[in-house]
Every structure is written in C-alpha cells, then in structure tokens.
Structure 1
Amino acid sequence: MIERFGYGVIRWRYWILLATLVSTALAVVASLSLKFEADYRVFFNEDNPQLLAFEALQDTYAKDDNVVFVLAPRDGRVFTRETLQAVAWLTEEAWQIPYSNRVDSITNFQHTYAEGDDIIVEDLISDAKDLTEADIARIRDIVLREPQLVNNLISPTAHVTGINVTVQLPDQASDEKTPEIVAFARDLRRTLRADHPDIEVYITGLVPTNNAFLEVSQRDMMVLVPAMFGVILLLLWLLLHFLSGVIATILVIVSSTMIAMGLTGIIGISLTAVSNIAPVVILTLAIANSVHILTGFRRSLHEKDKYAAIAESLRINLTPVFLVSLTTTIGFLTLNFGEIPPLRDLGNIVAMGVTVAFILSVMFLPALMAIFPAPPPLLATASGVRAMRGLGEFVVRRRTLLMWCTMGVTLTLIAFLPRNELDDEYLKYYDESMDIRIASDFTIENLTGLQRINYSLNAGEEWGICRPEFLHKVARFAAWYREQPEVVHVDSIVDTLKQLNQNMHGDDPAYYHLPERRDLSAQYLLFYEMSLPYGLDLNNQIDMHKSATRLIATVQGLSDNELLALEGRAQRWLRENAPALQTHGVGASMIFANVSYRNLRSLLLGAVIALLVISLILVVASRSVKFGLISMIPNLVPMTMAFGLWGMLVTKVNLGLSGVAIITMGIVVDDTIHFLNKYLHARRKQNLESPDAVRYAFDRAGVALWTTSLTLVAGFLVLTLSSFSLNSSMGIMTAMIIVLALFTDFLLLPPLLMKWDGSRVLKP
C-alpha cells in the first residue's frame, strides 16, 4: 500500500507541486493579517485571579500604566539650577505624551505649609531658572525629608531623580498606541539630552516594558531567521552533499513555515515575544523528515532506478516519519495544558507546522526529487556510514559496561534535580544590551524599585477611611512594610494626613501625626483635594466614595519566590494585627510570581498525558508492550539528566523552561522510533540475532540520526541568540536534551534491547 502511495506521488508530481505552491502563496497572503500583542497581560488567562484582582484595583484607583524618566546628572547633583530646570521642562512637556493623565516629579510635588492662618498648597518649584542658592538649599531640605518622594522620585543621596507619567491607554488598540507613547517619550529624551548634555536620561516603566516585547520580537526576527537559514544551508550541504537535496529540503521547510504562519493568521492567533519564535522552531523540526527520506532515497539508488528508489524510501520511512511527526505534534499540543497563553500559542503554531512538514516531506519532497536529476548513491564506504558501523560494533561488544555507566551518570545527575527551583524575575526577561533592561537596572540600583505590591484597604463605609481606628491600622501596616529589608518605599494616604495635620497646627512638628477625630480627617482631605491642580488629585490613593484607600509597597529587584515570601509575611501580619483589613497584594509583579506555580501544576498533568499517549504510540508502533516500554527509558533519561545538570550548574527554572520537558518528550522520541524501527525490521524481516539487529540499525539509521540531531541542536542553539531570556533558556535546555537523547539512543537503548530482547526469532 505504501509503495503504491509512493508511485502515486511520482505520477501526480506536477499537480502536487502546483498545489503546494498555490497553498504557500495563499498562506503568505493570510500571514499578512498576523497581529502582534505587546502587553504583559498576554502572559495570563483572562480569568487569572491575580489579573482580575489587579484590574479591579485599577478600576477603583488610577491605572499603573506609566512611563518613568530617570535623570542622572553627571556631576551627581540633582539640586542644581540646570538640573532642576531640566526636570521642570520635562515635567511640563510630559503632559503632551499621548494619553497621559498625570505627571509627578519633585518640581510639581504639591508642597503644603502654613502661612499665618492660611494653608498653602502649591508646586514645590514654580520657576526653576530664577532659583537662588538659598532657594535650592531649602528645596533640597524639603524634598529629602518628604517620605512620599525619597526612594520614589529622588534618591536618598540626591544624585538621581525621576518623573513618573501615568497614561490612560484605551481598552481597544492599546498595542498600537504603546509604540506611539514610547516614541514620543524618546523624542523628549533626545531634546533634553541636546539641551542638557551633562544629564543622562533613562526611560522605563510598564509602557516601555510592554513596548519592549514588540522590539525584542522584531530584533529576534532580524537575528534568528537569517542565522537559522545560514545554519540550515551549511548543515544541509555538509550532511547531504548534493544540491538538489538541499534545494528540495529548503523548499519543504520554507513552505511548511509559511503555511503554518498563514494558518495562524486565518485562525486569529496573535504573535507575542514567545510565540514569535515559532518560525525558527518549525524550520528546525521540519528538516528531520526530509533528511531521513533523502538518506533512504540515496541508499536505494544502489539497486533501483530513481522512481523505484523514491518509492522504496517512502516504504521504509513513511511509518517512522509519521510516528515522529505525531509524537512531536503531541508534545507541542500538550502545552495547551499550561497557564501561559503565549506558550500555548507557540505549541499550536509549531504543531501545525510539524503536521504540514510531514505532509510536504512525504508528498512535495518526493515529487521534487522525481523531477530533479538523480543524485549519486550513498556509498556504504562513506565516512559517516563507516563511523556508524564502528560505533555499532563498539556498543555491541561493550554493551554491559555502557549500560551501567550510562545509568550511573543518570543517577548521579538525578541527585541534583531537587536543587532546581521554580523562580523568575520578569524584569530580567530582556537581554542586558536592550534599552529597557539598562534603564530598569539603573533605576533599581539608583532610585527605586519597579515591582509594586498594591493593597486596597477597605473601611466598609463611605468616608470610612477617615475613622481614626482605621487610619491607625493603615499606618501600622505601612510602618511594618517600611521595616522590611526588601522594601524601598511605601505610599499611603496616612503620610498626607500627617503632613496636613502638622500644617493645620502652624507647621508644629509635634503635630506630625494622624488627626484624632474623623471629622478633622474628612475636612483636611476635602480642603486638600479642592486645592490640588488638574491631574494631581487623590484618585491614585483613595476611591471616589472615600471607603477604601490604596497602599503601595515598592520593592527592589526581588525574584518571584522572594516576592511571594514577602507578601506571605504581609498576610500573616494582617491576619494577626488587622484582620478586618486583610486583602491580597496585587500588581503586575504579583501576577507573574503566582502564575509560575499554577503553570507548572498544569503542565505536570500535560506531561503525564503526553507520556501515556506517546508510550501507547510506541507500543502500537512496535506491536509489543515490551519494546514500547523499553523505548521509553532512553526518552525519559535525557530530560532527567538535563534538568539534573541544570540543577547542578544553574538551579533557577523560569517560565520558558517549564514547558521544555513536554516539548522535548515529543522530539527526543524521534531517534528512538527510527532506531527501533530498523532494529525490529532486522529482527522480524531478516531474522537477525539481537546484536546483529543492533548493528543493522546503526548501519541503516545511524547517519540519519546523528545528522538530524545535529540539525536540531544547531537550530535550537540559534535561539540562544534571542534577546528574550524565555526563548534563549528554552533553546539551551532543548539543545542539551537532544544531545543527551542521541547519546542514550546510541549507548543505552541498544544495550537494553540486547539484554531484554533475548535471542529468539521474532514474528514478522
């Protein structure tokens, strides 16, 4: 039947070529509708509890979407006339940033003080160019004593200052507006640098971080795709040694990739910084089938003409190539069990690409080879074939030693598995060469943290936030947070009320405490709100009904586990000291910190299902429970060895690595299927003893296995050039697992087969 299929492909070759070219052309058109999502929210499900809680908080108070300018004068002094003029100019111009609705800096900070019987509320600096040295000294003293500013908009040593611009992005088309906002901010930076060359300006914040998802994807595509094509061309020429095979394989993998991306556009899957690497992964995986079929084709040319050799290669390779494609597809599809939508999208896109690559490799590739001139036969004396025969002989003779040595190394590396820790820092997803990473690192080291834990503390009634007992609990919670070593700044309404209480008593420092009566707090807040200019109201701290207030703890460069540990301590404090106020901390950082563990739990279920399905496939393919189970050993060993090695050398496992085990489970089984297929053919069809069947498998499949593995390793190592750490770490780990899988398939699987198969003749 398979042989008839092969001759059918040859007969209809021109129609197959036409259908493939038309499909590819249509896919190119469809791919033009692909959209890119540049928002950290794409990493979470719409029903993610932390995301829903954060969005509810942002609906109650001001949103957290912001652009932060960090100004660092080269002389290390913020409080000079030139620097303060620059801050004042940028503060004013930042209002022109698209969708900005609030700008905070040390120059427009609403300073309050008593003047006779009046309370004055005004910008701290109204005209920077007219400041005297005495004015600057007075302003410096005010700023460095203000808890709302220090470690927030001014460093304690006054060598760096920040300007925070809050933006109200439209719910629709926010991805299109983000680059516009960042471009405007960069224009302002360019202008300020030209006017003040001695002031360095950094840009960070949530909006630039979101925009970096788009920029890193564009950067990766400019680097990864050309690099991948270069690697493919080099490897294909070195491995195949004939031009028509290289051309045919290139056409197969390019068409597979384009059709997969076209289907992605038709389905409506949006690209992200993670799923954007799908073309590179498809290009890598699509090569293997072509190499196996072309290798079998050239081997058959010894005894057959071109058409018969094509049909023979399909007869030998169609089943293993189908099984390989099926298991790889299953591996990527099981990413759908995870909690990370971009990883699910990556799995679905690659699964489509692998499926298309299988169809093209068994139809389009043979059709091309039927048209191209026949290449020279693959000589049995070729260096690669001789090397595989020598390796096969070595494995047969040293099988017991190899089995125990491999198992010993495996057990040693397994001992390091517990050292792995699921931990991440989403602010470090970007390469250190990227502007956003440089700016974020500088801000964290010199000014303030970029991770914020938000609490909406509910008083339970309108104007309830003015109750003294409520405010004292909020103040105690804020004081507890300030005592934590990880915290650099705490923002709450109690600081404003303390300052107003002092102002109302003639600026007497003895009155820097909360008002003692509810009506006084309400009056102070009402007076203060009425005195504030446009855009600087208290909506970022209190809700419209005055029934809840927001407390923000800013932390500095914590990993996910450290962040969760801090929030856990906060929950314990609330439970023991203010149970009526207890609520979970929310924020972008908290969403990332929580999703890792839920994603791992979900993927573990996917891994179990994938393992069971792939095991069943191997049992059915080998028509033997014994061979199916034996073949799973060299597929599980590489993953455990790789993660053990990772635990020994690195220990931290990020979101990108969490899906690698499932992905590679489908990939590494490929070599096992091809080796086992040739082994069982020798045992069942040629009645060879187990050692001779191993030699036959090395002779017939060895070259193709190491060449496809080399290609896969090279392809996934290309991902290490990515500027996005989730992609680069995924590439490193996958390449490592594939290398270890090749070693176990060559050094562990054959000894296992010879030990457990015995010498009896197998039924065909």
Structure 2
Amino acid sequence: MKKLLGIGFWELIARIILRNRIAFIAGIVLITVGLALQWKNIRFSNTEANLIPSDDQVNVDYNQFLKVFGEEGNLVVIGTKDPKLFTPKVFKAYNALIQNLAKDKEVGLVLSVDNLKILQKNDSLQTFELVPFVDSTKIADANYLQSVRKDLLNKLPFYSGLLYNKHKTAVRSAVYLNKKIVNTKARKEYILGRFTDKIKAFEQANGVDLRVSGMPYIRSYNSKTITDEIGLFIGAALLITSLIFFFFFRSFRATLISMIVVIIGVMWSFGIMGGMGYEITVLTALVPTLMIVIGIPNCIFFINKYHQEYYKHANKAKALQRVITKTGTATLMTNITTAVGFATFIATNNVLLQEFGVLTTINIIAVYVLSLLLIPIFFSYIPAPIPRHLGHLEREYLTGFFVWIINTVKYNRLGVYIVSLILLIFGIIGIYEIKISGSIIEDMPKKTDFFTDIRFFEKEFDGVMPLEIMIDTKKKNGALKGTNLRRMEELEETITDIPDLSQPLSIVSVAKYAKQAYYNGNPEYFQLPSSQEELFIASYIKNTAKGKNANLFKSYLSDDKSIARITTFIKDENGEKMPWIEQQIRQKADKLFPKERYNVVITGRSSVFQKGTNYLLDNLLSSLLFAFFITGGLVAIMFRSFKMVLVSIIPNLLPLLMTAGLMGFLGIPLKPSTLLVFGIAFGMSVDDTLRFLAQYRLELSRNDWKIKKSVFATFDDAGISMFYTSIVLFFGFSVFMLSSFGGTVALGGLVAITLCFGMLSNLVLLPSLVLSLNKSLANKQEFIEPTIDILEHTDEELDALEKNEN
C-alpha cells in the first residue's frame, strides 16, 4: 500500500493529468452530459420518512392495519369558527364548494354539514336508513340555518370531534381522498392545484377564513417547501462560499475555477440521484448543497498548496505538479474520512438514511476527483499568480491568530487540558438534559399558512395526527358482540381521560348512534344498547350492515366483523409523550382484552414516527461508534501507532460531546435532523486531524525528529488550510439556517458550531496531546514507518526522484 500510494505513484498521476489535459476535460464534459440526461429520472418523495426497517414488528403491525382498513392518511379537513358560515349566502356558496370538491376524481367521499346524512329508523323494513340532515329547499331561510347549527351541535353527539369540536365553537368538513392516489404524485398535484384554488376562490368571494389540514395536505405543502428550498440552498451556498473564497485569495480566477468545480459537482449529484432512482427527500435534498460546502475546502487545499509552492520557487509547472505529488495521499485520505462519516448512515438499516449515506459518499469522492483533475488543469491554462494573490500567505490577522495558538500550546498546555475537562463535564451534564422528540410536524416550516392551520386544528379538535388501536377478537362478528363493545367503550373512556388525545371514533359510536336512532333521534339515548335492547336493535343493525348503508360500518370494522378499529388524534407537539400515552392505553387494553383471546395493536403514523426516532437514535449511536472505529483503524494503518489513534479520536470526540451538552441546555431535542449532526460533523472534523498529523509526520523527518520544533512547524503549513477550510465549512453549513424547516436549521447550526469547536480542538488540543503523548519519542525508529504513505513529500525527495527519472 505504501508503494502504491507513494511518491512514484503520485508523480505518475501528476504527469498523466498534466500531459492529457484535453482528454480529461473532454471526459468530464461527457460524464457531465451523461449524468445530466439522468435528471429526467429525479422524483420527489410522496410519503413521509419511515425510519423503521420493513421487517420490524412496528412496521409489520402498521402494514397489517393498512391491509385491513386501508390507507389512514387520506383525510383532509376544512374548518372554520366564522359564524357567517350559517348565513344563507355563505352557506349556499359553501355547499357549492363541497359539491364541487366531491366531483373531483381524486376525492372518494366528502362529509359536511350540507350533505350530512343522519340515521333514521324504518320500522316497516326493520332497518336504519340514512336521510339528509339539511333540507336544501330551506337554506335561504336564515332562521332555518340557525336551527340546523343548533341541532348539529346539540342533537348529533356522534359527529362530535368529527364535524364539530367539543367546545361547539368550530365546525369542519371531512374530505376523504381516493386511497389509490394518497402516496402518488397525483395527490400533490391535486392538493397544490385545483383543491387549493377552489378553497382560495371561496375565501375571496365570501370573506370567510377557511382552515385546511390533514396528512395529505400537510405532506403536499411540506414537499413543495422542500423543493423550493433546494434552489435557495444552492444559490446561497455558492454566494457565501465564493465571497469567503475571494476574501481569502483575492483572485477572481481562483474563485471562478472553484465555483466551476463545485457547480459540476452539483450537476453530478443530481445525475447520480436520478441514475440510482433515489427520490428527493428532506435529506437527499441537502446533497447538492453539501457538495458545494465540502468541495470548496478541497479547492482551498489544492489552491493554497499551489500558491505555497509557487511562492517558494516561482516555477508554475513545477508548482502544479507538486500540488498533486506532495498532497496526493493526504488529500485522498481526508476525503475518505469525510466519506466515512457519511457512510455510517448506510449501516442504519433504514432506507432513507442509507440512500443519503450512499449519495453523499459517492459524491464526496466524485468532488475530490473533480478537484484533483480540474484545478491543476485550469491553472495550467491561466497566468501565474501575482503577488496580490499570494498575499494571503502572510496576512497579519492569521499571524496573530496562530501566534496565540502557538503560545497557548507551548506555555499553557495544562490550561488547555483543564478547559477541555471543564467542557467535557459540561457536555456530559448537558447530555442528561436532552429530550427525544417524536413529533412529525416539529421540523415543518412554522411561518407558513399550512403550519398555522395545523395549530388551529390542534387547538380546536385536539390534533390531526392519527393514533390507531386495532382490536382483533379472532372470531367472526366478534367485534359486534355487546360484551366486546362495552370493553371498547371502557377503553375509550381511558383514551378520553388522556388530555393529549381527541375524542375517539369507533364502532362503539356507531352502536350508540343506532340506539339514538332507534329512539327517534333523542340524544339522551346516545349510549350502548343494554343486553335487553340488543335483542330488538340487533336486527336493525344487521339489516343496515347488509344494505346500501353498509359503508357506515366499513371504516370501523373488518369485512368479517372480527376486527374493530378505534381512531383518536394526538396533538403532534406531544410526540415526546407518546411512550407514556401508549403505556396507559396498553395497560388498560391488556386488562380488558386478555392476550390469549384478543390481539390489540397500537399503531398509526404518529406512533410509527415516534418509535422510528428511538430506533434511529439507537442505530446512529452504534454507527457513530463504527465511525470512530473506522477512523481509528485508518490512523492505525497510516501511522502504526496507538498513540496516534488516541490523538486523532479525542480532539474530535470532545466537540461532539460539547454540542450534545449544548443541545441539552438549550432544549434542542434529539430528532432525526439533529441526530445526523454527529455523524456529519465527525466525518468532516477528522479531516483537519489527519492533515495536521500528516504534516507533523513530515516535519519530524525534516527537523531531525525533534518533537516541539516539528509541532510548531506544522502550523506554518497545515494551519492556514485548516483555518480556511473550517471557516468555509462553518459559513457553508450556516446556509442551512436559511431554511424554514426547523430540523434543517438545527442541522446547519449545530454542524457549524461543532465544526467551529472541532477547528479549535484540532489547532489547540491536538498539538498539545501530540506533545504530551510523544515525549518519549527520541528517534525515528520509535516512530514506525506508516503502512500508507500519507506524508507530503519533501522537496529533496521530489528533486531526487525527478533527477533519477531524467
């Protein structure tokens, strides 16, 4: 391996690149065109993330529920508190809106006040019939509409929580989309198109503020926001990184070349995404911007090295060749460690994170190759740098900064360790304050109208996120038995007593409604039939279930009536309470429905998402340990020194612990977005560690294995690149804070902070550890030759090689 990646190998690579410039440019153009043709295959995800493997019991239970009752996330609700709704003009217009929506092929059913059907007893047929609640011939009468409102709120308890809230201050309509389109592109196109247009037209014509929500609506607008932000991130990242780059190098040419490299990298990332058939999700949407943020540091490292070489001998050709030859393996390894940080997501057994890990890993290596090829080629065609371009090598602000660092490492290492220990304790204490969030909507854009509507329905109707309880009686028609209905009613009482849940809906409500209808609609009889009443009401229910009104039962019972469904809704802000809520329901369910006779499953999107967060936490922690192991293994292979393994891990572990502690004290919960911070930050921070250690190893050989002299000499060469790249990464990830998604903001901010901590840790703690742990190093024999030649080669070595080859 050492021979393979040694000086001769990179000398060969440098010659191949610089002697075949046109061929490489043509090859990159062809690859870019080929990948651009794959853009047509890019698709946007039509479902929210499922963080649990498909074979996990949580997903097995949820899929079983979907198999029995169909897609649960097909409900869109339209609500209002405006009393004008029950005035003749507005009510007529609202009727027209509902009827218009019902005609759309994407809509399966619309349930609203104007088309509401109520149960009515038919004694001659011994059945219940559904008859219109509103007489359409009387809706021009204002008094009649007020009586309709009064009857709805006071005489139809079955619709409490469904069409009106428990405070009787808000009403709503339920639009059930065709279940076949819920997870397709057609759903998004319909919601963002004709559906929204019709709602807005009604509001403008009648001056009534309608609130709209439900999972299909939320998912559609959430997806639209993700799509809109891709361009924002790419544009902002290009702008801020180009400005910083120009500030450092004072060269339009160098800035332009770097922008070309990362723009091609962005084009490749979209092409790779399309070619692999991956969908654009909230995570994969970040990949193109990440390529800019990660690609610019590569450009900085190569261009800074080119300027350093040209500053030494003013030989452009020699400088370009030595950019590749002197830094080949070191730059490759730092990119590999970055890729390893992202590749850890592949091991999470989660499709969403696996795709993110695969895409970022491939694209990181691709951007490295682009930088390695294009920067030397482009600079070979432009004039040599002028003194103004090289001025950044001796900037006063950098000089002062590094003087402070060197003095700190030289004279105050004890202070460095004390501060590090304090920060370590701070992080550990803060970790115990971190909470885990299972909220689906917490990361959604809070300044949008659709988020405001979510809060409206959470306040007025106790949420829009469904929680489902499926009760399998294991007997045909078992769910309709009086004993089981009373057990379900008792379970519903427990659900009602939990303040975070809405009033449940189930076959129990239908049975109560049947008794009310049997007693001519008297709301006082909205209760389960007694044992005696079951005998004469049962025949009515049985006939109704067989007739044209059978759909009344279909939503709450399986086809053979053996499985019953109880639906409640949870305020998504209480996602962290989900384990406690499920525990309360489970304890009661186990008492009422013995496991040997019944099977009770608690599921639903809100439950699956919350459990997915916990699953993700467990997997990412193990993945992070795997990243430590891989990084330590790379260092061990490169340096064959256990001391170097410790030296490489400790300065990168401390920033992660500090960030975790900061999250705890600031109340930032662990959730899918913030969990990604640690893997990303570690993979990128360890780059600086390897660059420093590689340069330190070179300085040892230059300075007769004198440790102190070598450590401080390392700052002169590697320090500037570490500083530049860290600043670019800090501001680059800060771009994500422009997002309207809370999770993306947290991801960008926390990674930026962690990388800032990492820079200081690598510039202060790392050299301090090197000096302390290697005090016993007396000669080069004790520092075993590395397995991989990661060192930047000396001028003497290169001159000797060139002389031998000539």
TM-score range relative to shorter protein: over 0.9
| CA–CA separation in structure 1 for the residues paired with 2:258 and 2:304 | 12
Q: 1:608 aligns with which of 603, 625, 637?
A: 625
Q: 1:405 aligns with which of 406, 411, 419?
A: 419
Q: 1:672 aligns with which of 673, 676, 689?
A: 689
| CA–CA separation in structure 1 for the residues paired with 2:461 and 2:539 | 34
* Cα separation, partners in 2 of 1:145 and 1:328, compared to 1, 3 Å: farther
Match for 1:572: what amino acid? Q
The yes-or-no answer on 1:572 pairing with 2:570 is no
Give SS of 2:503's match.
strand
Deviation string 1:165-212 (CA, Å, 9 cap, x unpaired) is 111243797124432244221122022113311x10122111112212
The yes-or-no answer on 1:161 pairing with 2:171 is yes
| CA–CA separation in structure 1 for the residues paired with 2:52 and 2:599 | 25
Q: Paired residue for 2:146?
A: 136
Q: Paired residue for 2:101?
A: 94
* Cα separation, partners in 2 of 1:599 and 1:422, compared to 1, 3 Å: same
Q: CA deviation at 1:737?
A: 0.8
Map 1:281-680 → 2, pairs under 5 A: 281-304=290-313, 305-376=315-386, 378-379=390-391, 381-383=394-396, 385-395=398-408, 396-507=410-521, 511-515=525-529, 516=531, 520=536, 522-529=538-545, 537-579=552-594, 580-680=597-697
Q: Paired residue for 1:279?
A: 288
Q: CA deviation at 1:623?
A: 3.5
Q: CA deviation at 1:339?
A: 4.8
Q: Paired residue for 1:244?
A: 253
Q: Paired residue for 1:230?
A: 239
* Cα separation, partners in 2 of 1:388 and 1:12, compared to 1, 3 Å: farther
Q: CA deviation at 1:388?
A: 4.9
The yes-or-no answer on 1:110 pairing with 2:125 is no
Deviation string 1:525-583 (CA, Å, 9 cap, x unpaired) is 2344467669x532111222222221112222343331221111111111122224441
Verify the 8 A CA contact 2:155 2:523 in the aligned structure 1: no
* Cα separation, partners in 2 of 1:692 and 1:200, compared to 1, 3 Å: same
* Cα separation, partners in 2 of 1:514 and 1:259, compared to 1, 3 Å: same
Verify the 8 A CA contact 1:466 1:519 in the aligned structure 2: no
Q: CA deviation at 1:605?
A: 2.2
Verify the 8 A CA contact 2:651 2:762 in the aligned structure 1: yes
Q: CA deviation at 1:295?
A: 0.7
Verify the 8 A CA contact 1:296 1:313 in the aligned structure 2: yes
Verify the 8 A CA contact 2:153 2:168 in the aligned structure 1: no
Q: Paired residue for 2:80?
A: 72
Give SS of 1:302's match.
helix
The yes-or-no answer on 1:762 pairing with 2:775 is no
Give SS of 1:421's match.
coil
| CA–CA separation in structure 2 for the residues paired with 1:741 and 1:368 | 32
Give SS of 1:638's match.
helix
| CA–CA separation in structure 1 for the residues paired with 2:225 and 2:730 | 23
| CA–CA separation in structure 2 for the residues paired with 1:405 and 1:132 | 75
* Cα separation, partners in 2 of 1:468 and 1:307, compared to 1, 3 Å: same
Give SS of 1:584's match.
strand
| CA–CA separation in structure 2 for the residues paired with 1:709 and 1:83 | 60
Q: Between Structure 1 and Structure 2, how many residues are aligned?
A: 761
* Cα separation, partners in 2 of 1:149 and 1:625, compared to 1, 3 Å: same
Give SS of 1:102's match.
strand
Q: CA deviation at 1:490?
A: 0.8
| CA–CA separation in structure 1 for the residues paired with 2:256 and 2:243 | 12
Match for 2:395: what amino acid? A
Verify the 8 A CA contact 1:656 1:730 in the aligned structure 2: yes
Give SS of 2:210's match.
strand
Q: Paired residue for 2:45?
A: 37
Q: 1:202 aligns with which of 211, 217, 221?
A: 211
* Cα separation, partners in 2 of 1:448 and 1:185, compared to 1, 3 Å: farther
Verify the 8 A CA contact 1:116 1:506 in the aligned structure 2: no
Map 1:693-712 → 2, pairs under 5 A: 693-712=710-729
Verify the 8 A CA contact 1:34 1:268 in the aligned structure 2: yes
Normalised by the length of structure 2, the TM-score is 0.89
* Cα separation, partners in 2 of 1:510 and 1:745, compared to 1, 3 Å: closer
| CA–CA separation in structure 2 for the residues paired with 1:320 and 1:265 | 32
| CA–CA separation in structure 2 for the residues paired with 1:300 and 1:215 | 48
Q: Paired residue for 2:792?
A: none
Deviation string 1:456-507 (CA, Å, 9 cap, x unpaired) is 2223322222321111111111122112221221111222222322332455
Give SS of 1:652's match.
coil
Match for 1:383: what amino acid? E
Percent identity of paired positions between Structure 1 and Structure 2: 17
Match for 1:112: what amino acid? L
Match for 2:561: what amino acid? K
Q: Paired residue for 2:798?
A: none
| CA–CA separation in structure 1 for the residues paired with 2:426 and 2:479 | 59
Give SS of 2:209's match.
strand
* Cα separation, partners in 2 of 1:596 and 1:204, compared to 1, 3 Å: same
Q: Paired residue for 1:61?
A: 69
* Cα separation, partners in 2 of 1:340 and 1:179, compared to 1, 3 Å: farther
Match for 1:165: what amino acid? V
Deviation string 1:256-283 (CA, Å, 9 cap, x unpaired) is 2222321222222222122111100111
Match for 2:256: what amino acid? I
Q: CA deviation at 1:35?
A: 1.4
| CA–CA separation in structure 2 for the residues paired with 1:192 and 1:73 | 15
Verify the 8 A CA contact 2:438 2:575 in the aligned structure 1: yes
Deviation string 1:74-109 (CA, Å, 9 cap, x unpaired) is 4x5654444543443333222123322121223333
Give SS of 2:780's match.
coil
Q: CA deviation at 1:139?
A: 4.1
Q: Paired residue for 2:791?
A: none
Give SS of 1:301's match.
helix
In the alignment, structure 2 segments of 5+ residues that lack a partner are 1-7, 786-806
Q: CA deviation at 1:735?
A: 0.8
| CA–CA separation in structure 2 for the residues paired with 1:300 and 1:509 | 89
Q: CA deviation at 1:350?
A: 1.3
Verify the 8 A CA contact 1:219 1:723 in the aligned structure 2: no
Give SS of 1:227's match.
helix
Q: CA deviation at 1:155?
A: 2.5
Q: 1:183 aligns with which of 171, 193, 199?
A: 193
How big is the alpha-carbon RMSD for the aligned residues of Structure 1 and Structure 2?
2.5
| CA–CA separation in structure 2 for the residues paired with 1:15 and 1:509 | 84
Q: Paired residue for 2:760?
A: 743
Give SS of 1:486's match.
coil
Q: Paired residue for 2:25?
A: 17
Q: CA deviation at 1:31?
A: 2.3
Q: CA deviation at 1:635?
A: 0.9
Match for 2:553: what amino acid? L
Q: Paired residue for 2:799?
A: none
Deviation string 1:387-418 (CA, Å, 9 cap, x unpaired) is 35413432222222223222222222322111
